[in-house]
Amino acid sequence: MNDFKDFKIKKQLYNAIVELGFEKPTPIQQESYSTILGGFDFVGIAQTGTGKTIAYLLPILQDLKFSDKPHPTVLVLVPTRELVIQIVEQIDKLTPYLDIRALGVYGGTNIKTQKQAILEGLDIIVGTPRRLYDLALTNVLRLNSIKKLVIDEVDIMLDFGFKTQLKNIFEHLPRKRQNILFSATMTTYVDDLIDGFLVNPVKKIITPSGTPLENISQESYAIPNFYTKANLLNYLLQDKEEYSKVLIFVATKNTADRLFEILKFESEVSVIHSSKEQNHRSKSIEKFENGTSRILIATDVISRGIDIDKISTVISFDTPFYPENYIHRIGRTGRAGQKGRSILFFNEKEIALKEAIESLMNYTIPFNDFPEEVEVSNQLLPEKYNPFDPDELNDKNSRGDVGASFHKKSAKNSKEKVERKSYKKILKERYKKPIKRGDKIQNKNKK
Ligand code: AMP
């Protein structure tokens, strides 16, 4: 499936692809085409820029027959109006030679005009959850003819709090349908949604690359607990030349806020996560971009929109639970061939996660000695230090703070085995079935 010709798509679609100038399918397109066309439930983990929109549009359009029926058979749900517009544009570009009726709906616009457009008849409807649900409630939009449901940017969708709207919409859909999900990062929310309503989905994970980029140097520190991690951070960040533009990843909004409070470089630090107002987020990013703030604390999901040059260092304050998120994180530094640096903090409970990352990259992250000048705190957080918010919390992800003796133990013998879990085991727990590594890194060695 290395060529669009292998897809055996109808010539109207093929011609449109040629005219768009696409030479060959991207890895996610190669991986998803037959599965989606075959009608299976599908989960694609791929970032924007991988060609994921066309990855689901192509098999859907291939399968779509000319219809003059009034109600849509394909529903695409996305978190933002910008995305609705982009997707409808991509459909238009793919269908100049096909008679397909597609409509985008989103809030903040006149619902009457949208109702009118729906009454004219539709094949594909693309929308944000709230507006879509409002339209379904009016009965103008009938969802009982939907055969394929796509949810794009699932992680953002759930992070924006659309879970209830999604559930409400699901109730209007026929039970027998194909579900297609795309998300850039894995989170527990996404996992739960997948577990909750998909039937044995085929999962494909496309990371930017399974191997680390050569221009990004990687290192790590074993650190026992939250406050010692913060002490080390305060120590390292004193060197303003070396750490000239630093993106710090944390796993939750709580950790982001807590860290913001205890970092010493107050005026130089910004923080973004999804509970902050859009205005605040834009300002934080702008300040980081133009250099007013040197340090930006961010969560995985919300950092998506950040495309900033010259980030000197990416620091993973928490080891990400999903190894592919680490690859996304470190890809923020070392852009455009510049040198980049990645530093990973891990505690005892995060060792297995670090190993999963190393297994994914086939690379062992070098280990730094803990600087003697930095105080090792014995203070544990009042609550169990868990990288996930309490309402996201479940046992499989729990990582507690551990005592101060940990870093000494690790520094003495970094190879010491402490509650090691194999990557296979983590995957097995995650996906509830054995997954071979070869299944996972789809684009590795494909360049
Ligand atoms: P997406 O990841 O869906 O946001 O797509 C990112 C961009 O890649 C869009 O502008 C697409 O038009 C473009 N694109 C999608 N598939 C291909 C392909 N096979 N070859 C070249 N560009 C593509």
How far is Cα 302 from Cα 315, in angstroms, rounded to an integer? 16
Amino acid at 403: G
pTM over 0.85: no
How far is Cα 343 from Cα 324, in angstroms, rounded to an integer? 16
How far is Cα 415 from Cα 340, in angstroms, rounded to an integer? 26
How far is Cα 17 from Cα 4, in angstroms, rounded to an integer? 8
Read off the pLDDT of residues 171-184 as tens digits, 9 standing for 90 and up.
999 999 999 999 88
Mutate-to-test residue for ligand 1 from 5, 7, 20, highest number of ligand atoms within 8 A of CB:
20
Read off the pLDDT of residues 87-129 as tens digits, 9 standing for 90 and up.
999 999 999 999 999 999 999 889 999 999 999 999 999 999 9
Ligand 1 atom nearest to 52, measured from its CA: 3
Q: What is the pLDDT of residue 383?
A: 65
Residue closest by Cα to atom 16 of ligand 1? 51
Q: Rounded to the nearest 5 degrees, what angle is found at the Cα of 414, between the Cα atoms of 413 and 417?
A: 90
Read off the pLDDT of residues 62-78 as tens digits, 9 standing for 90 and up.
999 888 888 999 999 99
Ligand 1 atom nearest to 53, measured from its CA: 3
Residue 29 Cα, ligand 1 centroid: separation in angstroms?
Answer: 10
How far is Cα 357 from Cα 351, in angstroms, rounded to an integer? 10
Tokens at 180, concatenated: 């297609």
User: Token pair 């397109």 is at which residue?
Assistant: 29
Residue closest by Cα to atom 13 of ligand 1? 51
Residue closest by Cα to atom 23 of ligand 1? 51
SS3 70: coil
Residue 234 Cα, ligand 1 centroid: separation in angstroms?
Answer: 41
Could you tell me which of 436, 400, 435 has the C-alpha nearest to residue 419? 400
Tokens at 253, concatenated: 């909004």
**301 in Cβ contact with 277 (< 8 Å):** no
Q: Does ligand 1 lie within 6 Å of residue 26's CB atom?
A: yes
> What domains, with CATH codes, occur in the chain?
4-205 (3.40.50.300), 216-378+394-446 (3.40.50.300)
Mutate-to-test residue for ligand 1 from 14, 17, 18, 22, highest number of ligand atoms within 8 A of CB:
22
Residue closest by Cα to atom 5 of ligand 1? 51
Amino acid at 351: I
Ligand 1 atom nearest to 4, measured from its CA: 19
SS3 136: helix
Burial of 418 (C-beta count, 10 Å sphere; 0-12/13-18/19+): middle
- pLDDT band, very low/low/confident/very high, at 275 (cuts 50, 70, 90): confident
Residue closest by Cα to atom 19 of ligand 1? 25
Tokens at 125, concatenated: 């409807």
Q: Does ligand 1 lie within 6 Å of residue 3's CB atom?
A: no
Query: Is the pLDDT confidence value at 187 over 80?
Result: no
How far is Cα 282 from Cα 262, in angstroms, rounded to an integer? 23
SS3 368: coil
Instruction: Give the DSSP letter string of 95-158.
Output: -TTS---EEEE-TTS-HHHHHHHHHT--SEEEE-HHHHHHHHHTTSS--TT--EEEE-SHHHHH
Residue 77 Cα, ligand 1 centroid: separation in angstroms?
Answer: 19
Read off the pLDDT of residues 352-380 as tens digits, 9 standing for 90 and up.
999 999 988 888 999 999 999 999 998 88
- pLDDT band, very low/low/confident/very high, at 409 (cuts 50, 70, 90): low
Residue closest by Cα to atom 22 of ligand 1? 22
How far is Cα 117 from Cα 127, in angstroms, rounded to an integer? 13
Mutate-to-test residue for ligand 1 from 54, 152, 153, 180, highest number of ligand atoms within 8 A of CB:
54
Q: Does ligand 1 lie within 6 Å of residue 54's CB atom?
A: yes
Q: Does ligand 1 lie within 6 Å of residue 25's CB atom?
A: yes
Read off the pLDDT of residues 125-153 as tens digits, 9 standing for 90 and up.
999 999 999 999 998 999 999 999 999 99
Residue closest by Cα to atom 20 of ligand 1? 22
Torsion of CA 45, 48, 51, 54, to 10 degrees: 90
